[in-house]
A = this chain, B = another copy of it.
């Protein structure tokens, strides 16, 4: 492939790709292709990345968390030093506003995640060290092996395969990462990888700790995630592609952590509507249209009482939707898929309240779109009415009774979040209990009086949920130490001689490491 095509990062070297096809990102505001040309990597290139990662994984076995912490912190500093370049590049590739979104919100979130992961790596507590002195058995989580991270289109920084949450977690657990940059923002991913190379050098880490490829064939993607040298996979993105990768990884027994589609149901109780309908309409509009609706936790399904109060809310939201600016979407594919989703919902019997057509904003855009359907209709075909329309739109379901609301909750698929709005005086508490019981096991995170779009980087966060929102309901993609745990394997030491134990499991506590010793959590030495 000619020298004008961007190289891939293999084993520390920016290497000219041997691929025979290439692609360019598109600026969604101008709808023009951007100048840089990126390669589609052929299998031999991917294979060499896996080989280098496997050798590095072997080399790093048993290294203390402090080494990975040092890298993650140096990397965060290298990113800070490139803030302007990253912001400009990501803006051109995604159309997302530079400020406050990219520069003031997403980039600080990204470096914060890297630093939180570094802290957890340094304190080693994510390893869940368990010591049973009577049986002389000790266990902890150890590195799982090379991790492949597929980043999504909608967060060029915070979920980037070479810098986001999965990346930070995989490194904190002591694993090398093969990053698959999203084809919507390849130049952004390249800058991250350049920063990573600088941090690798300054902290004396192995060259293959971070590698980057931009694109593969579907076949090679499946081959990559099922390769025996791979430890685990993180994937955030569209359901269809994710499920294909899951099928391949499952066959090889490789843990794959998915974050797929979610419509994030919001239940609004009648008391809350009476009490603060206008404010609910404001909150919803702001949450639903933020970033042109392109958040995994966008509220795509809202269940309200039928009758006057529910109608009033639909009207208030429609009014706000039609007056609000129309944002730019990330890519033509996103607009198409949004349009198809809206069409599917309408074909199933939803009626259009406002919006419904392409255009209206700068570049790639689609009108802010509100649909509604009766609870009865929803329950006739609940699967179709849960079609995700990823973008600046939502479906309101008008339920005739609390019983019908409960039925709707019980017909829901797995989701990342579920929200319930209720009155502050306690008048909705009986209804709340009914909805909560149905909703709780169907969502990873339950919210009260709050829209789902803010995903705090908290130890108690669950950015996960039951299938098909993810592939396993026990794990979260956001929040340390829980997100790191995904990239560890359980390692038990049975009668292993004292001097051969990992530092974390020796009698002397190597630092301030929380360990469970004979059933009690402690930072003390074992005596």
Which residues of A (454-489) have their CB < 8 Å from a CB of B? 456, 458-462, 464, 466-468, 471-476, 482, 485-486, 488-489
Which residues of A (414-440) have their CB < 8 Å from a CB of B? 414, 417, 432, 436-437, 440
Contact A441 B135 (CB under 8 A): no
> What CA separation (Å) do A447 and B136 show in the bound complex?
11
* Stretch of A34-42, A107-115, A248-256, A334-342 with 4 or more beta carbons under 8 angstroms from chain B: A248-256
Contact A466 B489 (CB under 8 A): yes
A469 nearest CB neighbor, chain B only:
B253
Q: A101 interface residue, CB < 8 Å from B?
A: no
Q: A380 interface residue, CB < 8 Å from B?
A: no
**Other-chain contact of A255, B139, B441, B472, B488 (Cβ < 8 Å):** B472
Find chain B residues with CB under 8 A from A138 CB: 460
Q: A103 interface residue, CB < 8 Å from B?
A: no
Which residues of A (481-502) have their CB < 8 Å from a CB of B? 482, 485-486, 488-497, 500
Find chain B residues with CB under 8 A from A137 CB: 456, 458, 460-461
* Stretch of A13-21, A140-148, A316-324 with 4 or more beta carbons under 8 angstroms from chain B: A140-148
Contact A467 B58 (CB under 8 A): no
> What CA separation (Å) do A387 and B448 show in the bound complex?
54
Among all A-B residue pairs, the 5 with the closest Cβ atoms? A253-B467, A462-B492, A521-B521, A473-B489, A445-B492
Contact A445 B494 (CB under 8 A): yes
Find chain B residues with CB under 8 A from A472 CB: 253, 255
Contact B521 A449 (CB under 8 A): no
A457 nearest CB neighbor, chain B only:
B135
Q: A131 interface residue, CB < 8 Å from B?
A: yes
Contact B459 A252 (CB under 8 A): no
**Other-chain contact of A473, B255, B441, B458, B519 (Cβ < 8 Å):** B255
Q: A141-B474, A460-B137 are in contact. Are A440 and B491 (CB under 8 A)?
A: yes
User: Knowing that A131-B460, A143-B441, A444-B491 are A-B contacts, what are 11 other residue pairs whose CB atoms are under 8 Å apart, sorted by A's residue number?
Assistant: A61-B441, A132-B461, A142-B440, A142-B441, A247-B250, A247-B251, A253-B467, A448-B497, A461-B492, A462-B490, A474-B489
Contact A490 B467 (CB under 8 A): no
Find chain B residues with CB under 8 A from A476 CB: 490, 492
CB distance from A78 to the nearest CB of B (A): 27
Contact A460 B492 (CB under 8 A): yes
CB distance from A203 to the nearest CB of B (A): 22
Find chain B residues with CB under 8 A from A437 CB: 58, 61-62
> What CA separation (Å) do A414 and B433 show in the bound complex?
46
Q: A130 interface residue, CB < 8 Å from B?
A: yes
Q: A67 interface residue, CB < 8 Å from B?
A: no
A522 nearest CB neighbor, chain B only:
B521
Binary contact readout A346-386 vs B (1 if CB under 8 angstroms, 0 otherwise): 00000000000000000000000000000000000000000
> What CA separation (Å) do A255 and B139 show in the bound complex?
23
Q: A269 interface residue, CB < 8 Å from B?
A: no
CB distance from A502 to the nearest CB of B (A): 10
Q: List 6 A-B contacts (CB under 8 A).
A: A131-B460, A142-B440, A417-B494, A446-B492, A474-B486, A474-B490
Q: A246 interface residue, CB < 8 Å from B?
A: yes
Which residues of A (221-279) have their CB < 8 Å from a CB of B? 246-247, 250-255
> What CA separation (Å) do A247 and B248 show in the bound complex?
11
Find chain B residues with CB under 8 A from A473 CB: 144, 255, 489-490
Contact B462 A488 (CB under 8 A): no
CB distance from A280 to the nearest CB of B (A): 15
**Other-chain contact of A462, B491, B520, B521 (Cβ < 8 Å):** B491
Find chain B residues with CB under 8 A from A471 CB: 253
CB distance from A492 to the nearest CB of B (A): 3
> What CA separation (Å) do A496 and B62 show in the bound complex?
41
> What CA separation (Å) do A141 and B462 show in the bound complex?
11
